[in-house]
Amino acid sequence: MLNQASSSEQKAQAFGLQDHLHTIGLNPFRELGEPVKASAIGSEDSMDGDMRQFMLKQRRCDYFNTQSHLVAMIVKLSETLSAMEKPERKACLGSTLNLINRWLLDRRAYMALNNEGPLSLLGIHIPMLRKHDTRQQVLRVHVDMCRIFSSATRAPFMLVYETANLDEVIKSHDTDEASKEDTSSNESVFLSRAVLDPLASSIAAELDVQGSATSCPRQAVWQLLGDHSPESWLQLQIEAPTLAPPRPLTVYPCSRCEKAGAGAWQDVDIEALAQASTEFSMHAGFISNGGDLHKETMTISAAKRKCAELPGCRGFCHQGPATADAVKIFFKGKWDNTVDEDEWTSFKVEAIGATAGYSAAVAATPGAPAEENATASPTELPAGLLKVPQQCINCPACRRNEQALKVRRLIWGDSWKDKVERARKASPYGRYRSWTLDAVVVKGADDLRQELLAAQVVKQFISIFEEAKLPLWLKDVEVLVTSANSGIIEYIYDSVSVDSMKKDCPGKSMGEIFKIAFADKLFEAKQNFIESYAAYSLVIWFLQAKDRHNGNLMMDSSGHVVHIDFGFMLSNSPGGNMAFEQSPFKLTQEFLDVMDGECSDQYEYFRTLVIRGFLEARKHMERIILPIRMMLEGSKMPCFREGSESVLQTLHDRFFVNLTEEACIEKIVDLIDSSVNNWRTIQYDNYQRIVNGIL
């Protein structure tokens, strides 16, 4: 019945695909071919060895062709969206992706009735995300999670899809063949029930077939197909799985509350409690070899107060005997056996209430929140929903933590981890161990070759910093170039642009937003911010990346900064290569405020990381230059407009290899100082704000 279905045009019309989209190549039933081949169903038993090998070779050829056609089609979809009016884009995206889902369903139904493996050659794999097995195949696009990004001239969109290795063997109570190994490595054997039955069961559940839990799930699928004519099958409506509502936010008690773990909550004065309820025991030696939460120079009494404020802090230590003078304090998140070293002095927290008993405290609290309230608006969540006991509603620390969770949900939404968990529970294929939810950004009419080059250079920096054990953080983003003017980029989970953050919190500066959003983990977030900002400052300097407005700076929900869009670097710049941005890297006041200003210890930590990272990169200059040198010959990329010799020479000069280390450090300090509130950087931000509305 499947192979007798209507024509590709009729299928497109049945699922609401506009006629002109079919003609320009956005109909998967025409671009990807028919999902079912009648000659293959049930015919494997009669094949001899040579014919079977020929069929497997044909499958491999079809697999790669179908994969190429899928990538070309979704890239063409992005190009088509850019030529449409903005109100029409969402409907066009939805109808095309829904038709892709129907093609995938028909293909999976064919797989369930097929006898010979591997199934991976019958599926579709988007060649992205290096960590994935290439046998992972796309099962379904989550149309409700896909969205089109705002852009002046283009229409890139986020594609969210679930994948699994359908050749994976699933243990079943009614078959002795199941094991934890898969059979996909042996391409000449018939597929076992341990592979086919779970797939058929999942399809039956997806189609809501009664009796899908029978001992022969494939029979249920056969019966379903037999009950439908080609026309009725085409009209069959497949409902997308409904995801459970997001989890309610949970505010943990302030660790300084002496009753936090016992269920007897009370309103507290934070400053008084920090000094009165926290007790420390002094030990010789240091707490542990690891677990540093924070480092800062201060007195012992100030360290005790900060330890009480620092979430998860188990104590602190300093080198030398106990003293009233300011010393460098190491705040620790774990306590190992005390090491017998007289050169160190440690203070262990003894009387801070543990958060481990918080769940019991909430359970014992009258009027605990009901689960059905979990869908309330994140900006209007009542304290009860956040599981703050009534007695502690006015506690400043809990109110601050509650507000931080609200603001983070307002800015970043639900975490990607939570979305994956909810999608897995709702998916009929969630039983597969290999199941995962992925997201990529599809870009049409956009040259991503420079993005790929920048990503390769960033990867070199990551390796260099890791080898040197420097706490510098960079995001390794995968880029797939599909043509000279299109490609696909890995989506950066749990991240938004700095521009978007400021628009979500109008009237607030970046420093204020940061302190509010990360009030419950401020020291950790600041450390993440500084270590990532320092690392990207070096990348921006060496690559001379331009167009550094706040729309091209992303921040994740942990405080890391990620620079995106390397369309202008090395020798080209916006505005017809007018080279307006002259600052070594962006370091305006709003980002200095996140580091508590130029006179703070955090800013000194930033400067130290930039210097140490620069000196380490200088030692491995050739590793950084090599990807660029390889691309120079015969390349017409805009970033090489000044010629290969000029690009290489200026890049080489930026490493200051002709200077001694002391002289190099002085030059690095000059770079940092010249970047601080650089006039041209400020004016470029003003221009973007006035012309493009980027805050």
Percent of the chain with pLDDT over 70: 74
Instruction: Determine which helix (DSSP H) or strand (DSSP E) holds 349, and give its type and residue range.
Output: strand 344-349
Report residue 424's pLDDT band, with 50, 70 and 90 as the boundaries.
Answer: very high
More confident residue, 38 or 136: 136
Window from 180-189, 631-640, 678-687 with minimum mean pLDDT? 180-189
pLDDT value of position 23: 61
Pick from 51, 14, 11, 49: which is nearest to 28 by CA?
Answer: 11
Give backbone dihedrals phi and psi of 374, rounded to 5 degrees, phi first: -70, -15
Most confident of 71-75, 329-333, 365-369: 71-75
Closest CA to 397 of 277, 306, 271: 271
- The reported pLDDT for the residue numbered 32 is 83
Query: Which residue, chain included where needed, has tokens 């042996």?
Result: 186
Contacts of 389 by beta carbon, 8 Å cutoff, 6+ apart:
265, 361, 362, 365
**Among the listed ranges 178-182, 390-394, 567-571, which one has the minimum average pLDDT value?**
178-182
- pLDDT confidence tier of residue 206, bands split at 50, 70 and 90: confident
Per-residue confidence (pLDDT) for residue 290, from 0 to 100: 64
Using alpha carbons, select from 527, 463, 531, 532 the residue that is nearest to residue 492: 532
DSSP structure string for 253-318: PPTT-TTTTTT------HHHHHHHT--EEEEES-S-SS-EEEEEEE-HHHHHHHHHHSTT--EEEE
Backbone angles phi, psi at 15, to 5 degrees: -100, 15
pLDDT band at 257 (very low <50, low <70, confident <90, very high): low
Architecture of domain 278-351: 3-Layer(bba) Sandwich (3.50)
pLDDT digits (tens, 9 = 90+) for 562-588: 999 999 999 999 988 888 999 999 999
Predicted confidence (pLDDT) per residue in 485-496, tens digit: 899 999 999 999
What pLDDT does 338 receive?
53
- Please tell me which residue, 113 or 413, carries the higher pLDDT value: 413
Per-residue pLDDT for 355 more than 60?
no
Amino acid at 30: R
Mean pLDDT lowest among 221-235, 249-263, 283-297: 249-263
Per-residue confidence band for 6, with pLDDT thresholds at 50, 70 and 90? low
The angle, 0 to 180 degrees and rounded to 10, between the axes of the packed helices 621-632 and 644-653 is 170
| Domain coordinates in residue numbering, the chain | 2-137+159-235, 278-351, 357-374+382-426, 491-692
Segment 141-173, tens digit of pLDDT: 999 899 998 776 788 999 999 999 988 887 654
Q: What is the pLDDT of residue 357?
A: 27
Report which of residues 358 and 642 the model is more confident about.
642
Q: Is the pLDDT of residue 38 over 60?
A: no
| Measured CA angle at 110 (ends 105, 116), to 5 deg | 135
pLDDT at residue 7 is higher than 80: no
Could you count the other beta carbons within 10 Å of the beta carbon of residue 468?
15
The answer to whether residue 31 scores a pLDDT higher than 90 is no
Query: What class is the 491-692 domain?
Result: mainly alpha
pLDDT at residue number 375: 33
As a whole number, the mean pLDDT across the chain is 79
| pLDDT confidence tier of residue 608, bands split at 50, 70 and 90 | very high
Q: Are 615 and 651 in contact (CB under 8 A)?
A: no
Q: Rounded to an integer, what distance in angstroms lies between the CA atom of residue 695 and that of residue 685?
A: 8
Among residues 150, 166, 126, the alpha carbon closest in space to that of 438 is found at 126
**Span 479-484, average pLDDT:** 92
Question: Which span out of 374-383, 392-401, 610-619 was modeled with the highest average pLDDT?
Answer: 610-619
Coil vs helix vs strand at 353: coil
Contacts of 168 (CB under 8 A, 6+ apart): 182, 184, 195, 432, 433, 434
Residue 312: pLDDT band (50, 70, 90) is: low
Largest CA distance in the chain: 89
Side-by-side strand order, sheet with 315-319: 280-284, 344-349, 315-319, 327-332, 292-298
Most confident of 105-114, 274-283, 286-295, 565-574: 565-574
Number of residues that this document lists for the chain: 695
pLDDT value at residue 306: 79
**Across 501-511, average pLDDT:** 90
Q: Which residues share a beta bridge with 283?
A: 346
Q: Is residue 545 classed as helix, strand or coil in its secondary structure?
A: coil
According to the model, what pLDDT value does residue 586 have?
96
pLDDT score recorded for residue 127: 86
Instruction: Count CA within 13 A, CB hemisphere, residue 417.
Output: 1
Which residues lie closer than 8 Å to 387 by C-beta, 6 or more apart? 248, 249, 250, 251, 362, 368, 369
- pLDDT tens for residues 220-242? 777 766 666 666 666 666 777 77
